């Protein structure tokens, strides 16, 4: 079901640097040590870019975002497969079988679709779990939080003609529950102090300790949550 996820990631230009950084690590260890892995591997990307005469700062920024997301997918694709969940990695939802079940805003060329860095779902039905990946909580996390609110508005059922949700127009068939979460390296240690964390159904960061937050969890907990399909979490 998810055979192409790892093969796509392994074809990334700098994946060999990250692959070396996670050598001999279990999937759980990849997530647990993801901050250290990112630090060392992004330094490796920077050095290679310098030798190749590339824009070092641009290469570093691009690698940080793209490969953090790749590491999360790489470390969770096996447990998703074991639980009959399909994993979508860095795909526009409009080009997948979920195009009609996830709310979009607008029409034709102005359609806006939600952050969908990583998506887990059972093709036969049930909830859809979306993870927005950011290396720090300062990177457009509010935008991801707004999509969480829009999901709730789009799926809200109300007979009150004065309800403000009737003033919004969405396209899609919203029979499936949609749960929005985030994953972040949290380079600036922001998760513990940001109210926006509570906007999400769940979140994951290496800077969060077990039991420290009602919404955010240690990033390695993502494996356990996939294993039980977020039962008791959402």
Q: Report pTM.
A: 0.85
Domain count, the chain: 1
User: Is 234 domain-assigned?
Assistant: no
Predicted pLDDT of residue 140 = 57
Locate 56 and state its tokens: 């070092």
User: Is 232 domain-assigned?
Assistant: no
User: Is 73 domain-assigned?
Assistant: yes
User: Is 37 domain-assigned?
Assistant: yes
User: Is 196 domain-assigned?
Assistant: yes
Element housing 79 (H / E): helix 56-82
User: Is 204 domain-assigned?
Assistant: yes
User: Is 233 domain-assigned?
Assistant: no
DSSP code at position 93? G
**pLDDT (tens place) for every residue of the chain, 234 residues total:** 898 999 999 999 999 999 999 999 999 999 999 999 999 999 999 999 999 999 999 999 889 989 999 999 999 999 999 999 999 998 776 667 777 766 665 555 555 556 678 999 999 999 999 998 888 766 555 565 566 666 666 666 667 777 766 565 555 555 778 888 999 998 877 787 666 677 888 999 998 887 666 788 999 999 999 999 999 998
* Host domain of residue 214: 3-227
CATH number at residue 51: 3.40.91
User: Is 222 domain-assigned?
Assistant: yes
**How many Å apart are CA 104 and CA 151, to the nearest integer?**
9
**How many Å apart are CA 221 and CA 226, to the nearest integer?**
9
Could you tell me how many helices (H) and strands (E) the chain has, helices first? 7, 8
DSSP code at position 159? -
């Amino acid at each position: 079901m998810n055979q192409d996820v790892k093969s796509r990631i392994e074809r990334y230009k700098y994946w060999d640097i990250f692959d070396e950084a996670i050598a001999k690590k279990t999937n759980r260890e990849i997530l647990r040590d993801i901050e250290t892995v990112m630090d060392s591997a992004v330094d490796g990307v920077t050095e290679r870019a310098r030798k190749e005469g590339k824009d070092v700062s641009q290469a570093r920024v691009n690698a940080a975002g793209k490969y953090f997301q790749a590491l999360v997918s790489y470390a969770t694709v096996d447990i998703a497969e074991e639980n009959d969940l399909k994993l979508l990695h860095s795909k526009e939802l409009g080009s997948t079988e979920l195009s009609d079940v996830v709310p979009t805003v607008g029409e034709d060329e102005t359609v806006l679709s939600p952050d969908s860095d990583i998506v887990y779902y059972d093709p036969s039905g049930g909830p859809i779990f979306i993870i927005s990946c950011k290396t720090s909580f300062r990177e457009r996390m509010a935008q991801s939080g707004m999509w969480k609110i829009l999901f709730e508005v789009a799926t809200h059922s109300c007979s009150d003609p004065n309800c403000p949700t009737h003033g919004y127009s969405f396209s899609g068939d919203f029979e499936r529950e949609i749960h929005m979460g985030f994953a972040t390296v949290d380079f600036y240690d922001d998760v513990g102090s940001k109210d926006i964390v509570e906007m999400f159904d769940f979140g994951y960061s290496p800077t969060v300790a077990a039991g420290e937050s009602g919404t955010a969890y240690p990033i390695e907990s993502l494996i356990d949550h996939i294993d039980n399909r977020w039962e008791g979490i959402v």
